[in-house]
Amino acid sequence: MADRIQLLPDHVANQIAAGEVVQRPASVVKELMENAVDAQASEIKLVVKDGGKTLIQVVDDGIGMSPTDARLSFERHATSKIRSAEDLFQLHTKGFRGEALASIAAIAHVDMQTRPGDEELGTHLRIEGSNVVSQEAAVTPKGTSIAVKNLFYNIPARRNFLKSDKVEFRHITDEFHRVALAHPGISFFFYHNDSELFHLNQNSQRKRIINIFGHKTDEKLVPVQEETQVVKIDGFICKPAFAKKSRGEQFFFVNDRFIKSPYLHHAVQSAFEGLIKPDSYPGYFLYLTVDPTSIDINIHPTKTEIKFDDEHTLYAILRAAVKHSLGQFHLAPMLDFEQDQNLETPYAYQNKEAEVPGIAVNPGFNPFQQETATSYGRSGAYSRQSAKGWENLFVDLESKSSRGEAFSSVHFESEAVSGAIFPPSDEKQLNEGTTFQLRRKYIVTTIRSGMLIIDQQRAHQRVLYEKFLRSMTLKESLSQQLLFPVSLNFSDAEIRVIEDLLDQLRTLGFVIEISKKEEIMITGLPPLVPEKEVRPVLDHLIAEYRQGNESTNLSQSDMLAKALCGSVSVKSGDQLDTHSQLALVNDLFACKESMLSPFNKPIFITLTENEIDKKFN
């Protein structure tokens, strides 16, 4: 029998390993920038073209490499940070994966220039698909420069799976933010398509956060500091007033390494309980320092997940530290039971002097005089009024012909009904059916075969979704001009998202002008978007755009319509009057698709008469 098992060639093994290390251009950025940090660089430059597909270059002024080290760095399982298996649990550096540079070189054209600080000449190395094309001495600045060109050039199938340049650039920006936030003592520069996006000098943690997310972030930040034997916590949380409906500025760093931890996120979220709405998310930038032997960072290929030895203790300490900061800076409601409220002076009387009360005496007052009474007027003087006819105030109600006549003119105040989302345009059409609202969540109406139960939120989402798509397709939208323009501040990354969506937003009815670097001016809104909901709606659109992977204009319009209808639609708990209920039912069944919401969830269910009869058997 012939042998079936054989060893893979090196170039094939490197390409397979590249699938684990290099998932997209952002993975290359992460590996190269972390290597530059470990090289003790004080200045790191990132140059990207076409979303990283054409060029990714990282330049640092670190310690550099000798000619031998430069050549060995592209071999599999080559590393300068691990000597034994025990070192895996004493990591104080970023990258240590031996396949990183080897995997990158297997699927791209790599050009490296490096020189140690104590050498006069450096090394210029060129590799294409794991093959060393040339290695020669060259005059180069101190440090290392690695340029990765034409990513996945020899694996067309992988290259076809990459998203658009905007989506890949967004992932690269996220990786840049994570490395730059973790190392405020290093200067970072970011260039994309020959334009400078970030110029971050060495600074404190607070200044680094402000330089990345905009100067308006300064007023949001609240410091958090706690030091115990288990963990040292440092960083900032955002004030509850700036909580968003989408996950945005949420960063955990453990030993200067960015991680994702739903467990620790829940600790922060629980500390904000009662201060923010249940569907809102707080922002935070938290730096945790723990003993390297108490964590395991090798449970995930990208090392963004960490296993802690004692998660429960860490959870309790983090939650208490955040709560302490919220209370220390008077962001949480507090009750002082020791202070006597009766001794507090009202604000209106704090700066007033004490006044002697005036005494008014009526010298003609006679308490024995009949059919007269006195009352104290607003002016402070007594006035005489007649009390004649006081017996009429106590006439028995039973003396009337019937007790019901006494209440014939009494009107009971009905419960206030709000949420009229549709004006009753046609009274005859609205009165064709009968509806009522169940639990302020469902609309119940009758049909020939039985009963129809409609989810009001999903139904309104379907109606708005098709309306927004029609507006963007036909470019026939209405805009309601604002009497006073609304000015909103966003970070540079959020401004770029708004610029990408500007044409679609205008077709929906938004009139937006980008007036300054971090500010936009809104002078018109769609009729269905209230002015007070502008900021939450735009935050939701930006978050959905960042999470989406759509690349075509049609799918981008679909994403925008879904995000907008989810923000401005009627919610569960909103009370609708009868006209709005009937109009919503009529508009729902006038849609092209009335059974499913834009998010592929059922809108209504039917109960036939036979099913109802079976309940009584």
**Domain residue ranges of the chain, discontinuous segments joined by +:** 10-200, 211-327, 435-605
Grade residue 553 by pLDDT with cuts at 50, 70 and 90. Answer: very low
pTM: 0.71
- Between CA 186 and CA 44 the distance in angstroms is 7
- Between CA 551 and CA 548 the distance in angstroms is 9
Q: What is the structure's pLDDT at 348?
A: 62
pLDDT of 321 strictly over 70? yes
Residue 411, C-beta contacts closer than 8 angstroms, at least 6 positions apart = none
- In Å, how far from its chain's centre is CA 117? 44
The tokens 């003592």 sit on which residue? Answer: 185
The 10s digit of each residue's pLDDT in 176-207 is 999 999 999 999 999 998 889 899 999 999 99
- Least trusted range by pLDDT, from 332-341, 357-366, 378-387: 378-387
The tokens 């952002």 sit on which residue? Answer: 26
The 10s digit of each residue's pLDDT in 84-126 is 555 555 555 665 445 678 888 888 999 999 999 888 899 999 9
- Least trusted range by pLDDT, from 46-50, 137-141, 344-348: 344-348
pLDDT of 591 strictly over 80? yes
- At position 256, the amino acid (one-letter code) is D
Q: What is the structure's pLDDT at 85?
A: 54
Q: How many CB atoms lie within 10 A of CB 363?
A: 4
What value does the mean pLDDT of the chain take? 80
- At position 344, the amino acid (one-letter code) is E
DSSP designation for 253: E
Q: State the CATH class of domain 10-200.
A: alpha beta
**Which one is predicted more confidently, 225 or 540?**
225
Q: What is the structure's pLDDT at 436?
A: 87
Grade residue 344 by pLDDT with cuts at 50, 70 and 90. Answer: low
- Between CA 267 and CA 546 the distance in angstroms is 25
Q: What is the structure's pLDDT at 391?
A: 55
Residue 356, C-beta contacts closer than 8 angstroms, at least 6 positions apart = none
- At position 449, the amino acid (one-letter code) is S
Among 74-83, 232-241, 344-353, 542-551, top mean pLDDT goes to 232-241
Q: What is the structure's pLDDT at 95?
A: 56
- pLDDT cut 70: percent of the chain above it: 78
Q: Which long-range contacts (CB under 8 A, 24 or more apart) does 176-179 make?
A: 176/29, 176/33, 176/46, 177/212, 178/30, 178/251, 178/258, 179/30, 179/33, 179/34, 179/37, 179/258
**Which one is predicted more confidently, 83 or 477?**
477
469, two tokens? 């798509």
Strand partners, 522: 486, 512
Q: What is the structure's pLDDT at 374?
A: 43
Q: What is the structure's pLDDT at 324?
A: 92
Q: Are domains 10-200 and 435-605 of this chain identical in fold?
A: no
| Half-sphere exposure in the Cβ direction for 29 (13 Å, CA) | 29
pLDDT of 70 strictly over 70? yes
Among residues 263, 318, 249, the alpha carbon closest in space to that of 289 is found at 318
The 10s digit of each residue's pLDDT in 18-69 is 656 788 899 999 999 998 998 889 999 999 999 999 999 999 999 999 998 8
Among residues 612, 594, 284, the alpha carbon closest in space to that of 459 is found at 594
Among residues 315, 153, 345, the alpha carbon closest in space to that of 233 is found at 315
pLDDT of 484 strictly over 80? yes
Q: What is the structure's pLDDT at 382?
A: 44
CATH number of 211-327: 3.30.230.10
> Which CATH architecture best describes the domain 435-605?
2-Layer Sandwich (3.30)
Helix (H) or strand (E) holding 322: helix 311-328
pLDDT of 253 strictly over 80? yes
Q: What is the structure's pLDDT at 387?
A: 54
Q: What is the structure's pLDDT at 478?
A: 78
